[in-house]
Amino acid sequence: MGGAVSAGEDNDELIDNLKEAQYIRTELVEQAFRAIDRADYYLEEFKDNAYKDLAWKHGNIHLSAPCIYSEVMEALDLQPGLSFLNLGSGTGYLSSMVGLILGPFGVNHGVELHSDVIEYAKQKLDFFIKTSDSFDKFEFCEPSFVIGNCLEISPDCTQYDRVYCGAGVQKEHEDYMKNLLKVGGILVMPLEEKLTKITRIGPSAWETKKILAVSFAPLIQPNHSDSGKSRLVHLPPVAVRSLQDLARIAIRGTIKKIIHQETMSKNGNGLKNPPRFKRRRVRRRRMETIVFLDKEVFASRISNPSDDNNNSEDTEDERREEEETKPSELKPDPPVNFLREKVLSLPLPDPLKYYLLYYREK
């Protein structure tokens, strides 16, 4: 499923294409997509396909097409502080993007059927937290993943503000999914071959909107062949932040405000980073010579003695000339992690600095 937009050369170009095609329409969703490189969730040998608008599957590991994820993110209407449940959380790519928007006081839970995929998701989450400079631009609602069949969630579980199901839902399970929502909540799921948005507008009132046609593998039905221990899925409790965590969030927030004020005073109007430029390929054309001779007109190409033998060399020369004449301003400097620089410059013990940076390795 996918292929709605052209392939990009990197994550930013993929997002540019999604914006141009109107799959990404809001700034919050754009920021989340740019912050997490889709290729980081691919196995190394498959990364060449990461920026294509296509789904990817290898064994139990699965990623939906970027155009699907962007439609899901937009339909969920995410806001800081909400609770989110991801049914079929997979690699954690979507849950991590959602966590960037929910912020430190949100709730971010995922249910995944396969234990090896949960392990993979935890590895990718840890890699993002410890290595990505974009992580420091947000206060993150870290996702928690539990193993189990999402059709066997304990009936005494809490309800959520936002729910997404990443597998095809049969009509018989529609009410089950709706009951996971709080009043005012939004559920997004593939239902009868349509990506569907359902808003709970009252205890027994629903508003349904079909978004686009999709093709998802169906939910795997629970297997009750061996009636041993209970298979009920118990979701993580909604934990209260520790005083230590609250202090870290407050300190990081204060430092970010100081950095923003310094940037504003330095730039005057606080302009955003200049837009990324794409260089057009320039082709050199051979000059044609017009010769007038006794009222006759002859068109011919004046060639150097070496032209006939060095056509391939000429192409290589053109390529080198393009590289040499490429304006230096089109090569953006690598992004600066101002929060990290500011924290490391503070007169604090190293363990406290590392704690403020979430034990970052970079």
Active site residues: 64
Residues 6+ apart with CB under 8 A from 77: 162, 186
Q: Running DSSP on this structure, what letter comes out for residue 327? A: -
Burial 13-36 (b: 16+ CB within 10 A, else e): ebbbbbbeeebbeeebbbbbbbbb
Q: Which two tokens stand for residue 78?
A: 């995410």
Q: Using alpha carbons, select from 68, 71, 150, 78 the residue that is nearest to residue 108.
A: 78
Q: Determine the residue type at 63.
A: L
257 burial level (CB within 10 Å; 0-12, 13-18, 19+)? exposed
Q: Helix %, strand %, coil % for the chain, to 5?
A: 40, 20, 40
Per-residue burial over 207-231, b = 16 or more CB atoms within 10 Å of its CB, e = otherwise: eeeebeebebeebeeeeeeeeeeee
Cross-strand pairs, 199: 186, 207
